[in-house]
A = this chain, B = another copy of it.
Amino acid sequence: MNDKFVLRPSQPTDTHAIFELIKALAEYEKLSHAVVGSVEALQKHLFGSRPYAEAIVAESDGKAVGFALYSYNYSTFLTKPGIYLEDLFVLPEYRRQGIGKAIFKYLAELAVERDCGRMEWSVLDWNKPAIAFYHQIGAEILADWRICRITF
């Protein structure tokens, strides 16, 4: 399953491809209008002097066909950081090869390596296939927590 693609940390030269994948993700979600960022800003936030996020790339046929972008949150009770997975996307024509599951495994191993206490992400509550998959890989869904947001 793992011989058709490789996962690796992103490099500065990947930023354009990652931004294209972000746009493909938005298109898939019918949210293209919501992509108002720029490849320059992404470059700065991934690889600048003050990085805010990290990314990994799934490569197949010599091109980036998927990515995951994550940041770190923090548990004050554990006094340990956690990985927060912001985005995971695989181009539709490269699905059903196990790339998504391999990305979760890669990030879980990275989290353990960096002494993180947990790994978290969000899901829409009506997305039953995704929730079933997350249960299958050992995740719990925090039923009674809601995310609050102020937008600037």
Chain A interface residues toward B at CB < 8 A: 19, 22, 25-26, 31, 34-39, 41-42, 45, 52-53, 69, 71-81, 84, 86-87, 108, 111-112, 116-126, 131, 134, 137-152
Contacts and interface: CB of A to CB of B under 8 A. Distances in A.
A116 B134 CA distance: 29
A45 B115 CA distance: 11
Nearest to A34: B77
Contact of A73 (B80, B86, B131): B86
B150 A138 contact: yes
A34 B76 CA distance: 10
Given A120-B148, A147-B145, A148-B122, A76 B72 contact: no
Nearest to A21: B76
A123 to B, nearest CB: 6
A36 B141 CA distance: 22
Contact of A71 (B73, B122, B140, B151): B73
Contact of A123 (B42, B52, B124, B148): B148
Given A52-B72, A71-B72, A72-B71, A36 B77 contact: yes
